[in-house]
Amino acid sequence: MAHLYGYARVSTLEQDPALQHDALTAAGCARIFTDHASGKLDHRPQLDDLLERVLPGDTIVVWRLDRLGRNLHHLITTVTELGQRDIGFRSLTEGLDATTPAGRLLFGIMASLAQFERDLIRERTLAGLEAARARGRNGGRRTVMTPDKITVARQMYDTGNHTVQQIADTLGVGRATIYRHLSNEPSGA
């Protein structure tokens, strides 16, 4: 027998999910899973539990689309995976029902727009990198080790009176940076 499962999320413990619970209960959800966590988190315990629990033929219902996905790409990926598992998805506020042909069409359009956006971002990034290379700039972070800092690091290291950690602390860099610029094997310092 197919079930409707609700998923509610609020970002902080101070927020109250009652509005979402009322709407999900009115929609006929047999059980509601609620997370008190930011939507940006990769793993939300109640959502993870819900996704493990649902079976083919069941439907997950949310109050609003932004309650489920971290971003549009994550939302589309999640709903697509649900569809592949024969699990339905509905969003009450947007009136989206991915179990209907019209809902699947709308979701397909959203997925195409999200892919288009990712492709545009990639193209702009590549064009920016190419323009920077044409101006003689390669990508990556600028080095924090100036020639003067390298000279000081070499002098401190050669005296044998300072550990690599002390040199790094003095120059405001990490130990790996000191090792990289002095081209010495780590001496256990």
Span 132-146, mean pLDDT?
A: 81
User: In which residue are the tokens 């359009």 written?
Assistant: 109
pLDDT for residue 39 is more than 70:
no
What pLDDT is stored for residue 115 in this prediction?
80
Q: Which residues are catalytic?
A: 11
pLDDT for residue 117 is more than 80:
yes
pLDDT for residue 38 is more than 80:
no
Does the model's pTM come out above 0.75? Answer: no
Half-sphere exposure of 69 (CA within 13 A, CB side): 17
Task: Determine the straight-line distance between the first and last CA of the chain, rounded to whole angstroms.
Answer: 65
